[in-house]
Amino acid sequence: MAARILEFLDPSAYRHFPWKNGGGVTIDIAAEYRAGAEPGGWDGMIWRLSRTRIEAPGPFSDLPGYERLLAVIDGSGLVLHPKGRPALDVRTPFRPVRFAGEWPVDSELTEGPVGVLNLLADRKKIGIDLSFVGAPGGATLPGGRAILWALSPTRARLNGQTVMIGRDGAMSVAGGGELVMDDGLVAVAALTAVS
């Protein structure tokens, strides 16, 4: 199946919404909610790709039933401490860690505030993966849906078609395909329906 560009996502339209625990603000890049749910809210969320800043150490929001992927995209020095489990080292930028939303997690900042990218989904409905691809690399997009979020101005080819994404812009793609990066750096959030 050939890749289809569903839409380009403009940063000026991103929603700003408080964290579930009220400790900060998340900026939604893309998300999907059940019918009748408040967009940007925490109830009825199916999946969400967002970025935020962690300015001070503290507890993460409790999100039972959700799978979480998190990567540092600005700064370094983040370590997550799930209660009763080994620490998750997120000190290296662009290396996602995976954890369950119901785990009690406290964050530690060893080198000051960081910017992070979050991908989370209802694990009964959507399987998720998160990776970062820069020029001159490439990636095979999943057959479901992928959100490409640009960390820098990006020029790429999707199944041979040239696409441009401005910094902090995004593109929603369905049907899979081959991504070849000519310039820039993108996060690839892969979303696959759970059968």
- The answer to whether residues 108 and 146 belong to one domain is no
pLDDT, the chain, mean = 94
- The answer to whether residues 23 and 96 belong to one domain is yes
**Distance in angstroms (rounded) separating the CA atoms of residues 170 and 119:** 14
Question: Which two tokens mark 194?
Answer: 């759970």
Q: Is 8 part of any domain?
A: no
What is the distance, to the nearest Å, from the Cα of residue 54 to the centroid of all Cα atoms in its chain? 15
How confident is the model over 9-41, as pLDDT tens digits? 999 999 999 888 878 899 999 999 999 988 888
Q: Is 105 part of any domain?
A: yes
How confident is the model over 141-195, as pLDDT tens digits? 988 999 999 999 999 999 999 999 999 999 999 998 999 999 999 999 999 999 8
Amino acid in position 180: V
Amino acid in position 185: L
Picking from 40-44, 52-56, 113-117, which range would have the lowest pLDDT averaged per residue?
Answer: 40-44
**Structural domain span for residue 94:** 14-122
Yes or no: say if 94 and 137 are a contact pair by the CB < 8 Å rule.
Answer: no
Q: Is 155 part of any domain?
A: yes
Query: What CATH number is attached to the domain comprising 133?
Result: 2.60.120.10
Q: Is 3 part of any domain?
A: no
- The answer to whether residues 178 and 82 belong to one domain is no
Q: Is 188 part of any domain?
A: yes
Residue listed under structure tokens 């909610």: 33
Question: Which of these, 70, 98, 76, 95, lies nearest to 85 by C-alpha position?
Answer: 98
**Distance in angstroms (rounded) separating the CA atoms of residues 35 and 21:** 24
Q: Is 81 part of any domain?
A: yes
Q: Is 7 part of any domain?
A: no
Q: Rounded to two decimals, what is the model's pTM? A: 0.94
